[in-house]
Amino acid sequence: MRRVKARLSAETPGPFPRYLSVVRAAAFALVVSLVIAALPGGRAEASTQDLVRQLDGLVSGFAGGTGVWVSDPSSPTPLFTHAPDEQVITASLYKLGVLAEAERRVDSGELHYNDPVLIAPEDVTSDGSFEEAGTSLTLDEALESMITISDNGAALALWHILGGSNIDVTLTKAGMADFHVAYDDSEDNWATPRALGTFFTLLAKRQLISAAASDRMLARLERQQINNRLPAQLPPDVLIAHKTGNLPGLTHDAGIIFTKAGPRVVVAMTWDALDEDADSFISSVGALVYGAILEPSANARYQVSKTAIAVDTGAEQRVTVPITNAGTRTWAAAGVGSVGLIWELRNT
């Protein structure tokens, strides 16, 4: 487990130990006749290989340490990883585990959104707590503050109610044994980029706890107000569901960026770097992922004519391309399971 010296900061979880290392454009149109819907037109800004190369360069140029996970939720293989199994103190990313356990209990009827959550004196930290001791919030209000503004007081009150061991059981059952929420004050919260990638992959597929719980968690994470990392270089209308975390020497962001080519899970954990350098690095990761129109998995075969086709400038040539589903999932034109085609045309 990588360790760095760390002290309290605005997003510290509160009672846990603070250490861990931390074509040329073509002048003609090609119309492809398909039985599946085509994605909006536009040139591919980067292939998967381009993205990997760009992210490799970004990682190698970063002065600190980092663990990165980038994936398409529909693919079993990540698009890019760097140190994916490094165990890193989560800082406020542990609040994702608290959120999941709370939503599990809401689903089961053990808890309700209007249940009271009392902020006790031991829940209030020197930084990052926005409610005074003795304040009573509803469960819904506590979850909203914990996620959208990373309120430590609300998070610790929920942690005391839910119990770290129970949170860990829920995460492990969901396939995240490497996402550990402290049982008591003697332990650290830690996770690997892979585990956090699994968390957001399940969310994106609406498979974390339940479809309804996933929808509620996604909506809350989309209301995130700390947006100086993954979203910082994105257009303002881009949808992103994410959670940040930081302690001195530790700066993280993890979530789902909804790109033109579909959702992308992005986890960036950093250590041993200045906050501003880490913020810039993480925002650059987000920008590269968003800017890439990625090559889909090889689950389709197509056949095109081997005879050259001459087309006058400004003219339209209609070509039929037979496409065979070589994958394991049935294609649909709309709704759940719908399939789109990214078609890139280049001069040769």
Q: At what angle do helices 164-173 and 152-162 cross, to 10 degrees?
A: 80
Q: How far apart are CA 267 and CA 55, in angstroms?
A: 13
User: Does residue 197 register a pLDDT over 70?
Assistant: yes
Q: 138, 117 in Cβ contact below 8 A? A: yes
**Residue 168: per-residue pLDDT:** 98
Give the predicted TM-score (pTM) of the model: 0.75
Q: 93, 100 in Cβ contact below 8 A? A: no
- For the CA atoms of 322, 326, 331, 336, the dihedral, rounded to the nearest 10 degrees, stands at -140
Amino acid found at 204: A
User: Does residue 61 register a pLDDT over 70?
Assistant: yes
Q: 268, 27 in Cβ contact below 8 A? A: no
Q: How far apart are CA 227 and CA 233, in angstroms?
A: 10
User: Does residue 31 register a pLDDT over 60?
Assistant: no
Lookup: tokens for 180: 């550990």
Assign a CATH topology to domain 48-291.
Beta-lactamase (3.40.710)
Q: How far apart are CA 237 and CA 239, in angstroms?
A: 6
pLDDT band at 40 (very low <50, low <70, confident <90, very high): very low
Contact residues for 11 (Cβ-Cβ < 8 A; gap 6+): 91, 92, 128, 150, 152, 244, 245, 246, 247
Contact residues for 316 (Cβ-Cβ < 8 A; gap 6+): 28, 29, 31
pLDDT digits (tens, 9 = 90+) for 225-262: 999 999 999 999 999 999 999 999 999 999 999 998 89
Question: What is the full DSSP assignment across 105-119?
Answer: HHHHTS--TTSEEE-
Share of the chain above pLDDT 70, in %: 77
Strands 190-191 and 240-247: unpaired
Within its chain, how far is the Cα of 156 from the centroid?
23
Question: What is the full DSSP assignment across 1-36?
Answer: ----B----TT--SSS--B-------SSEEEEE-SS
